[in-house]
Amino acid sequence: MLGEHGQVLGSEVGSLLTDKPDVAVAIRHPGIVQAIQENRLRVTVGWNGLAGDCGHRVPLFLFTLPAPAMQEFTREEAAYRRMLTGRQVHRTCDRLTLTPGGYCQSTALALDTRRSLPPFLPVFRGEDVAFGQLLRFFQPDAAIAYQPTSLLHVPAASRANPGGGLDGMAGHRSQSGLLVALLQLAAPSPAEAPADPGTLARRAQEILRGDFFELLAANQLRQEGEQMLRSCLAQLLAHPGAPGYWRRDLEAVIRSLHAAAQCPDYIYPAELSECRPAAERAGTLRDVLTAYFELIAAWPALWSAAVKLRERDGVTPARPIGGPGRP
């Protein structure tokens, strides 16, 4: 598994297309072809497929399946209930697949740390998404390689979604969506010269200190809920002949999403609502995000200091796994 990542990490995408004719490439915007031709895209992150517990507490994706998969999902009620509660998936690709950086989903990642990378904070949910957005800013030439191999994820303690996780859909809000929105607002426009991390952090902190931050947070988190609501409504309307048990479950989710959006507390991420009194939530949210951007501003200096310590004193925060004589 490590060898497969070692063969592509750090490689230029153009050279991989020459060496591996069966590779798949995501062509998502006009500039990608030119970037490949000019060898400006380099593989920075590797990803493995996943078999087993997917980690989703809220299995909304099961209700937005394309028609053939949805028919299989709802064919038998007992199997339908098992899939809702069991969290078991197999998600992979059938060949080495390359795509520009931006979207990132963790579980099993390989990172090319020969170049500086943005910080990855494994706390709360959605930090992998924030890392992907930061990677796009720190390294516009970064690409992600999806390997056609899967890792088995079987937690030591069996996990399940009680009731299929349907009751939790209305409360599924995360601060990562707001964090990504701030990154996108603070990032320079295509017409501007690339900004350094300090400039990005300063712009984001100005937004956080502004009078309209709470309004931005409220609208961002409500928008996430509205997107879930629209997806559920579209599925319900698209499948009038679906089994009654599926329709009743989805109708219950729609009603809970609609009711939750009317609650003033809905604008705060679920993690914050669980650990802070109502009067402290807005201030805590602002403080957490401000501290995050302070880290972004300091990150290049922290990375540089770590490199100097390693080169001068052999000090490293990680243990080498390559064996004697290997980096």
DSSP assignment of 252-297 equals HHHHHHHHHHTSGGGGS-HHHHHHS-GGGHHHHHHHHHHHHHHHHH
pLDDT number for residue 122: 62
* Residue pLDDT, tens place only, 267-322: 677 677 777 887 888 888 888 889 889 988 999 898 888 888 888 887 776 666 55
Residue 311, phi then psi, degrees to nearest 5: -70, -35
Closest CA to 192 of 176, 203, 182, 181: 203
Report the run of H or E that residue 148 belongs to, with start and end: strand 142-153
pLDDT score recorded for residue 247: 93
Report pLDDT for 51. 93
State residue 319 phi and psi, 5-degree precision. -90, 135
- What type of residue sits at position 286? R
* pLDDT reported for residue 325: 54
Question: What's the pLDDT score for residue 170?
Answer: 67
- How confident is the model at residue 124, as a pLDDT? 59
> For each of the chain's 327 residues, which pLDDT tens digit applies?
888 899 899 988 878 877 776 776 666 555 666 676 666 788 999 999 999 988 777 777 888 888 888 888 899 999 999 888 888 888 888 888 888 777 788 888 899 988 888 888 766 567 888 888 888 888 888 889 999 999 999 888 888 877 766 766 766 667 777 888 888 888 877 667 666 888 888 999 999 988 888 888 878 877 877 888 898 899 999 888 899 999 999 998 888 888 877 776 666 776 777 778 878 888 888 888 898 899 889 998 988 888 888 888 877 766 665 555 544
Distance between CA 214 and CA 156 in Å, rounded?
40
pLDDT tens by residue, 231-275: 889 999 988 889 999 999 999 888 888 887 777 666 677 677 777
Q: Are 98 and 80 in contact (CB under 8 A)?
A: no
pLDDT score, position 327: 47
Quote the Cα angle for 282-230-245, to 5°. Answer: 110
Reported pTM: 0.78
CA distances from 87 to 25, 80, 150, 214, 313 (A): 29, 12, 16, 35, 46
Question: How much of the chain, in percent, has pLDDT values that exceed 70?
Answer: 83
